């Protein structure tokens, strides 16, 4: 795996400087890299680029023919991510609301969706699932109660799990004790 530790470190240094506390956990990143590698010709989508930490992990598992689109509403965040990762032609950076992006997405298009913004996870879930190909993997993190007591999205996370586990067309795995609590849902062919 070609993991650019220097880029990860530079992104985290920017995050520290800007007080951006939303970058993914390294264990989640490592899982994202493995999942990305499982889709050698895949179309990958990240909702919520942040400063590019998760993007950098996804890139490390991105095969030569795979592509990654990463969508971020905040121009500054996307620009910082692009300053670190913008020279990779397989990665497309989009500055847009992820809910709007999903509304326009073709059905069954993406092979992996890392839903790391509220839109695509706590809103626009139907649109995100509709955009996922058969065999495609939907990934969400921050599913567990936080140690610092900030549980803004805990109830939404519980609802997300409930909705997904009731879908007959998805196999759901809850990695509750892994990293910040990760949910994987894989679309089945019925």
Ligand X SMILES: C[S@@+](CC[C@H](N)C(=O)[O-])C[C@H]1O[C@@H](n2cnc3c(N)ncnc32)[C@H](O)[C@@H]1O
Cβ closest to ligand X, residue 65 vs residue 96: 96
CA-CA-CA-CA dihedral for 119, 96, 44, 52, to nearest 10: -100
Work out whether 83 is an interface residue with ligand X (CB under 6 A).
no
> Residue 102 interacts with ligand X (CB under 6 A)?
no
Q: List binders of ligand X among 144-173 (CB under 6 A).
A: none
Q: At a CB cut-off of 8 Å and minimum separation 6, what does 130 contact?
A: 105, 107, 108
Of 81 and 132, the one with the shorter C-beta distance to ligand X is 81
Contact pick of 8, 14, 23, 44 for ligand X (by CB under 6 A): 23
Residue labelled with tokens 């809910």: 99
> Binding ligand X by CB under 6 A: which of 82, 116, 182, 185?
116
Q: For ligand X, how many residues bind (rule: CB under 6 A)?
A: 20
Q: Cα–Cα distance between 101 and 149 in angstroms, integer?
A: 32
Q: Report if residue 77 touches ligand X, rule: CB under 6 A.
A: yes
| Closest distance to ligand X from the beta carbon of 190 (Å) | 30
By CB neighbour count within 10 A (0-12 exposed, 13-18 middle, 19+ buried), where does 190 fall? exposed
| Residue found by looking up tokens 């939303």 in the block | 22
Among 85-93, 115-123, 143-151, 169-177, which window interacts with ligand X (CB under 6 A)?
Answer: 115-123
Cα–Cα nearest to 141, from 120, 168, 124, 166: 120
Per CB under 6 A, residues contacting ligand X are 22-24, 46, 48, 50, 53-54, 71-74, 77, 97-99, 116-119
């Amino acid at each position: 795996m070609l993991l650019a530790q220097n880029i990860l470190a530079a992104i985290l240094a920017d995050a520290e400087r800007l007080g951006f506390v939303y970058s993914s956990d390294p264990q989640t990143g490592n899982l994202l890299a493995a999942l990305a590698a499982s889709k050698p010709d895949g179309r990958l989508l990240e909702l919520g680029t942040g400063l590019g930490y998760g993007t950098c992990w996804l890139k490390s598992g991105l095969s030569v023919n795979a592509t990654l689109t990463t969508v971020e509403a905040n121009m500054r965040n996307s620009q910082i991510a692009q300053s670190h990762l913008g020279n990779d032609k397989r990665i497309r950076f989009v500055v847009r609301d992820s809910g709007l992006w999903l509304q326009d997405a073709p059905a069954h298009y993406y092979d992996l969706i890392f839903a790391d913004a509220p839109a695509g996870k706590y809103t626009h879930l139907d649109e995100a699932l509709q955009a996922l190909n058969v065999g495609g993997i939907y990934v969400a993190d921050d599913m567990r109660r936080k140690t610092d007591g900030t549980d803004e999205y805990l109830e939404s996370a519980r609802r997300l799990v409930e909705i997904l586990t009731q879908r007959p067309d998805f196999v759901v795995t809850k990695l509750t004790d892994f990293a910040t609590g990760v949910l994987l849902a894989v679309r089945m062919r019925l």
